[in-house]
Structure 1
Amino acid sequence: MEAIAKAHTNIALIKYWGKRDESLFLPMNSSLSITLDQFYTTTAVQFCSCLNQDLFILNGNLADDAETTKISKFLDRIRELKGEKIYAIVNSNNEVPTAAGFASSASGYAALAAAATKSIGLDLDKKELSRIARQGSGSACRSIYGGYVEWEMGEKTDGSDSYAKPVMDGQEWDLSILSVLVGSKQKKVLSREGMKRTVETSPFYPGWLDTVEKDLNLAKQAIQQRDFDLLGNVVEANALKMHATTLGANPPFMYWQSGTIEVMEHVQELREAGIPAYFTIDAGPNVKVICQQKDEAAVRQALLNVKAVQDVYLCHSGPGVTYLPVSAVDNSNRLLFKKFHAAGCDSN
């Protein structure tokens, strides 16, 4: 059976930084995010007994061996859960501009988890689906849900208590998130490597763990009370603390560029001028600015006037994972899918 799922990317308000188990993607701390409306991944999966290997089509092209191996390892977890050794064709399309600073791994693995489990015949609720998606990319577990989402770190070694859960529907308090593009160069230290180095070597990392739970509780309180300044202050401070841990790593490293600091300073100037806006930064140079919808036009224009800024993408709260009817897939995409399906089956 073929299944098609769509999942949106998310931005962490309280960061996930560091793993206690690399293979199961178990985090060192709980985190909080908001799912976004503009950027998403649509993935079609079909398991077929005539295949002797998985095929991965990404944005219309057959993926290379390294990318296909990553997808196959993730599908192995689903095959093990089903108890059936059967291969699949995965056809995935990303509407996530990586230059915007949004990693497509969250939406990608959330969509893959949803489509693959349904295609192989597993009937999972969102909590179970979140646990599966987490094992492809940690932040993917949060993209199973829309709006404000908490990822509970859990304590069990098997990861059974590490999953995401909804905090509040984003439509109940729909903030504006502006992704500010200041750099598109390949970062020297990938997130996975950066987390590992920080956990193992940074003397600042224990301080991060000592305060992140308080940050999480304050952020949830702010969301429930619709207290924008409380949320903004804790989100901004949490991001700065996360990045401070990388400066203490051995060897130290930094994700910021000069444009990153320029944008941060400009956001602080906006606040001084009476426009409430706050920043957060993931493991990269681009800045996400959070504001209220009444201020979004003014904030966006102000950011576009900053010399280092190349572009500004405007987002709001988005939905959780959804399933699409097969007929909803674009015809050209369907023909491509059939082409590779036939090629895979003929390979036997």
Structure 2
Amino acid sequence: MSQATARAHSNIALIKYWGKRAGPRNLPAVGSISVTLDGLYTDTTVVFDEALAADTAELDKKPVDTARLTPFLDLVRARAGIDTRAAIVSANNFPTGAGLASSASGFAALSLAATRAAGLALSPRELSILARQGSGSAARSVFGGFAEMHRGELDDGSDAFAESMLDPGEWPLEIVVAITDRATKSVNSSIGMSHLDQRSDYYSAWVAHSETDLSAMRDAIAARDFETVGALTEMSCLKLHGLMMSTRPGLIYWNPATVAAMQAVRALREAGTPVYFTIDAGPQVKALCAPGHGEAVARALARVPGVLETRRTALGPAASVLA
């Protein structure tokens, strides 16, 4: 019997990922750029035990189906040359499946814990490629601070990986998360982004303009240009949700509090606070704040009707082994 425990942090994409390339390896249709969040994380323990007849999994103290997890663990087993079944015990310190990237932190933590328990020591790039096959955004949660996920061109997925852009301390931005609904979203991201070439008239434009957006964001981050980073972040967010709404059937993840929080962020900015919003596939609003402004933004968003709680966080570290 062998085991390991790892922690990985959630991330939010500033330039969004949505859509998959054809093929079996969960390849992204577009690249993406994200920030990793210190305050939102997943802890996962993997135990390879010869006494087990099948893989088992527990999330937040509840049993979960292993239909998605066993094929992923098979990738690890094949690499390690073992066939031992595993027990997975995982916990999030934030709402699961609610648009806060729990699959990103979850599969990044699982990748690190499972490979270490299997006796493997993968490089960050190798770990990113593995994590991507569980969840596209998990490739970025392998890294701390700012990370970029490359779309890649090869069918084998060897050039579809994330890498670090800036460590957390190099530009210590703050994030305020406004939670407007703790429930699991009705349509998960994998289903929502499936077959978009057939389900949205706008999908080809989304893919065609992605590299322009990524290039602009790279330049803005390198220059520490917060205003441009923020403007590009809001633009990418609204483009993403426009694409979702154009999908047949249309995806609308927002609720009234989502819209109210977006409007509150814009009102704060008009009054002089350096803050911009972004929203992933869910109803939660994330406010990107210049250093030193997170506390004021959190107070303002807490007053928005329908906001259940706010979480203020710094940029977070890379995935790490806890035990």
TM-score computed with the length of structure 1 as normaliser: 0.88
User: Which residue of 2 is the match for residue 9 of structure 1?
Assistant: 10
| Two-structure CA RMSD over aligned residues (Å) | 1.7
Taking a change above 3 Å as real, the CA distance of residues 253 and 102 of structure 1, as seen in their structure-2 partners, is: closer
**Counterpart contact for 2:97–2:103, Cα < 8 Å:** no
For structure 2, the 5+ residue unaligned runs are: none
Moved more, 203-212 or 49-58: 49-58
Identity of aligned residues (%): 43
The reply to whether residue 25 of structure 1 matches residue 23 of structure 2 is no
User: Which residue of 1 is the match for residue 135 of structure 2?
Assistant: 137
Matches of 1:40 and 1:144 in 2, distance apart? 12
What amino acid is the match of 2:48? F
Q: How does 1:170-181 map to 2 (within 5 A)?
A: 170-181=168-179
Q: How many residues align?
A: 322
User: Which residue of 1 is the match for residue 68 of structure 2?
Assistant: 70
Q: How does 1:272-283 map to 2 (within 5 A)?
A: 272-283=270-281
Q: Deviations over 1:5-48 (max 9, x none)?
A: 11111111111100114631100000011111011111122212
**Counterpart contact for 1:275–1:295, Cα < 8 Å:** yes
Q: How does 1:1-348 map to 2 (within 5 A)?
A: 1-21=2-22, 23-61=24-62, 63-64=63-64, 67-98=65-96, 101-325=99-323
User: Which residue of 2 is the match for residue 344 of structure 1?
Assistant: none
**Counterpart contact for 1:100–1:181, Cα < 8 Å:** no
SS in 2 for 1:69: coil
- Greater helix share, structure number: 1
Matches of 1:184 and 1:116 in 2, distance apart? 28
What amino acid is the match of 2:30? N
What amino acid is the match of 2:154? K
**Counterpart contact for 1:198–1:245, Cα < 8 Å:** no
Matches of 1:252 and 1:100 in 2, distance apart? 18
Please state how far the C-alpha of 1:227 moved relative to its aligned partner: 0.7
Please state how far the C-alpha of 1:138 moved relative to its aligned partner: 1.0
What amino acid is the match of 2:34? S
Matches of 2:231 and 2:250 in 1, distance apart? 26
What amino acid is the match of 2:139? C
Q: Deviations over 1:201-231 (max 9, x none)?
A: 2111112112221111111111111110010
User: Which residue of 2 is the match for residue 332 of structure 1?
Assistant: none
Matches of 2:52 and 2:294 in 1, distance apart? 50
For structure 1, the 5+ residue unaligned runs are: 326-348
